[in-house]
Chains A and B, each alone.
Chain A
């Protein structure tokens, strides 16, 4: 699973709208960075297993097919674009619901995703998908140690060290940014897959292009509309999203007036008293 996100790492002054929402037009749409770590881990699984295939599932507008192509350039075999206005306005609950519906249809042996996306920073979608599909989940994965029939061994990056866990498969693995960086785009793959299109893109293409892709099924990115994944409409999009944004505030960090202290005991004591009374200490 991967997500196309606005590039919030290089924000200019026009990154936010006056209303305090993300100005998507001003920010480049990129492959969510931790999803690239996840892609790398998935490709490593394929490298070790030999016969496996890696497909990317993303939910988003038509242009999100860009990240599926990007994944194909880096080694993925193909992808699924889950797209439609029914999905608009989804919070993490509705997103994970929609994704899990698609995943039931795709029926993968293992699901790998980035820990979190840089636009929402929730880290909820991966675990929610695991819950909905009734699969075990391994979060904060940093390194694939072993994968074999029905079992995966993964090193997790935790706050105070690492932990190696064994999980039965199928499972959902969410990958940390400390995991190996994704391999680069591959020249031959780029040349091979550059014309890959999702169904709705294909419909808009000219006849020559359609014929070209019809002759080459590997260039066809599967696209699912809501109806294709048999969802409960009540759980989709805004209707299925209990998260309500009450207020958005611009937080401005301001340096308050500095206070000069000497090394005298009296000054240090007054500082201690002040810090304790403001609950900064103690």
Chain B
């Protein structure tokens, strides 16, 4: 019996993080539901026990059902039948199993039939689903749209849609259009208010919409006639049962083939406004995107896990020159680095998820009652960290997913290039992860502000307040020295940027990466201090990180202001 939770100690470790206690207290509002719902926890231990049990179910469904269907889903893929999506048979079975297991509406409040679990646990579930089948994770992970509905929609909309999500309705977020990809301010899908019917009518085309034929769609549309930028966009909710949207085609993709990427034609489709007009992109999509980026970080981490395990298994079985190839230093080194990257991705993912959880819950509470001054302080503190860490988590995890999948094929040798092994599917699936929900280059744009504003440096200094153990002391000292390298690089870039506009943009990725490597190393060091099983991966990762930091910082040191011109296209 394969179980992707019980076979993964690293994942279980993150569930036991000390911050979980605070997250649970906030999420459970001092256990107010205990007397109302028979499945609500009584206290922190009870909640943690429930999380563990629910994640164990997720692990079993992933290991037994979803992973087993992944290959056939990749081959078969979805189809368009009568203007609608028909999933691959395996996809339909996956959805059925997850509904039976009651794993929809994981983070929603109980009054909407949800499981009221933290974002951290939802990310864990996403990670496991992605390890089983990355493409399927898109369909299932989109239940995250319900979080945005829960945060911004009216009670009427919530009461109509959220219990449906908890019962298994699938979601989609309809943002991209042929001429509006990274630049969503250019969205043109038109929404006009139909006075007679009392609804908005949507007309136009959306492209590259994941699970575009989902039951519930959040649509970014232009409600303000004559406008051309983000300020004319609103968020609307469309119910598939109302009709008016046709799937024109499903894209033929390199990977994540089970996930239907749709081109949609809206023809007078009725829709309801979510929240306030004109806030669609500025406020709601930003929230949606942040959650989705965390989702991709989870998806990427799951893919790292799958690709690493495939390689490890093969390297142990494949014999050349009379011994398993894992015994050759070159192969072993690759495997160790793959493992360290996987663990580092995960560390960054859950550190971020915990920040998001505390911020989000305090934010929800602030709508129910006014926060105490120290709670307001706490919310601000975690909001800043969540905003700063989300692009880092997404960027590193998705780049690592690609690197680990690449190495996984390398370890398989010629066999890995054939369709016979899962690593080729993983490699294809990984390729989209550092592209969608904001390319790595766009994550850098979001993250560089936190280099400038000092979010990362402040957090690094906080990590430096930890006391290293005997096992981590040497690494700890190295990180302190690397932090000085980081501040020097930032200083240099900022001072040259004053004279030469564009210099900071030119080095943005390098600066963000240096910050990210130091942060991930610190988190791993903290883990190594608590559990000796992390000592070796931390040592390996710190070696890797310092190599990358030296490379980036020496590039910056040698880079002149004229480089901006040199690299201008």
Contact = CB atoms under 8 A, between A and B. Distances in A.
Co-assembled chains A and B? yes
Interface of A: 183-192, 194, 212, 216, 218
B115 interface: yes
Given A192-B39, A216-B38, A186 B100 contact: yes
B171 interface: no
Most chain B beta carbons < 10 A, residue from A184, A187, A194, A216: A187
Given A183-B100, A184-B101, A185-B101, A190 B38 contact: no
Contacts of B529: none
Contact of B101 (A187, A192, A216): A187
A186 B41 CA distance: 16
Interface stretch (B54-62, B312-320, B330-338, B380-388): B54-62
Given A186-B101, A191-B39, A191-B115, 13 more contacts: A184-B61, A184-B65, A184-B97, A184-B100, A185-B101, A186-B57, A186-B100, A187-B54, A187-B115, A190-B50, A190-B57, A192-B39, A216-B38
Contacts of B482: none
Nearest to B98: A184
Contacts of A189: 39, 102
Given A189-B102, A190-B50, A184 B60 contact: yes
A217 to B, nearest CB: 12
B57 A184 contact: yes
A218 B39 CA distance: 12
B103 interface: yes
A12 to B, nearest CB: 16
A162 B361 CA distance: 56
A194 B49 contact: yes
Contacts of B102: 186-189
Contacts of B53: 190-191, 194
Contacts of B41: 191
A187 B50 CA distance: 9
A154 B50 CA distance: 38
Contacts of B42: 212
A86 to B, nearest CB: 34
A218 to B, nearest CB: 8
Interface string B19-44: 00000000000000000001111100
B115 A188 contact: yes
Interface in B110-131: 115
A187 B53 CA distance: 8
A188 B39 contact: yes
Nearest to B106: A187
B57 A185 contact: yes
Contacts of B61: 184
**Residue of A184, A189, A191, A212 most packed against chain B (CB within 10 A):** A191
Nearest to B38: A192
Contacts of B40: 191
A279 B49 CA distance: 62
Contacts of B38: 192, 216, 218
A188 B166 CA distance: 11
A43 to B, nearest CB: 10
Interface string B159-171: 0000000000000
B54 A190 contact: yes
Given A184-B60, A184-B61, A194 B50 contact: yes
A189 B103 CA distance: 11
A16 to B, nearest CB: 22
A145 B128 CA distance: 36
A71 to B, nearest CB: 15
B234 to A, nearest CB: 35
10 contacts: A184-B60, A184-B100, A185-B101, A186-B100, A187-B54, A189-B39, A190-B50, A190-B53, A190-B57, A191-B40
Contacts of B49: 194
B54 A191 contact: yes
A223 B309 CA distance: 45
A274 B65 CA distance: 49
Nearest to B103: A187
Contacts of A192: 38-39
Contacts of A191: 39-41, 50, 53-54, 115
B487 to A, nearest CB: 47
Contacts of A188: 39, 102, 115
A247 B65 CA distance: 42
Nearest to B40: A191
A197 to B, nearest CB: 15
A88 B529 CA distance: 51
A63 B42 CA distance: 25
A190 B59 CA distance: 14
A187 B57 contact: yes
A206 to B, nearest CB: 14
A149 B57 CA distance: 35
A131 to B, nearest CB: 35
Nearest to B115: A187
Contacts of B101: 183-187
A135 to B, nearest CB: 30
Nearest to B51: A191
B95 to A, nearest CB: 13
- Chain A CB count within 10 A is highest, among B53, B60, B101, B115, for B101
Nearest to A216: B38
B119 to A, nearest CB: 16
